[in-house]
Amino acid sequence: MDLIKGFRTTFKHVLQEPVTIQYPEQEKPFQERFKGRHELKRYDNGLEKCIGCSLCAAACPADAIWVEASENTDEERYSPGERYAKTYEINMLRCIFCGYCEDACPTEAIVLTQEHRLSFTNRRDAIYTKDMLIVPPPEGTEGSPQQVEPGKFNRPIPDMENPK
């Protein structure tokens, strides 16, 4: 009897259309809540959103994030706050893509994108540095560091618009 059940299941699936996708020509869309590669954002004026507070590193359960902060000066300003992230590294082999870093960030500097193509040939390539993570400045802006006149940024974090 079990043999007949097995043959029935096999023949039922033989007649169905295969669900194979020809990757990479065709890609299956991911769910909207999918958390992939990390990205460090900038403000519209080109300054970095990361203020070097290390809350993302503290929230990371896998201890995959390393942040070293440094002070901004009026000659070289990287972020609107008093500090900026001089060193920002994520060990992608340790990362579990939980999104806690994204939730902990007060300036919404770190986000997890939909990018899923992550491959490494050695362990050193799996450590993403700040240069690899930060998005380029918007077209027509100078990026960071910027030279500003003293006293221009009198608030640690600029006013943010309320999301609608």
Domain annotation for the chain: domains and CATH numbers = 30-133 (3.30.70.3270)
Average pLDDT of the residues of the chain:
87
Q: Is the pTM above the cut of 0.85?
A: no
Residue 24 has pLDDT above 90, yes or no: no
* 134-147: pLDDT as tens digits: 999 888 878 878 76
Percent helix, strand and coil across the chain, each to the nearest 5: 20, 20, 65
Find the range with the poorest average confidence among 20-29, 58-67, 120-129: 20-29
Integer angstrom CA distances of residue 151 from 1, 30, 39, 48, 81: 85, 46, 30, 18, 12
Q: What is the pLDDT of residue 100?
A: 96
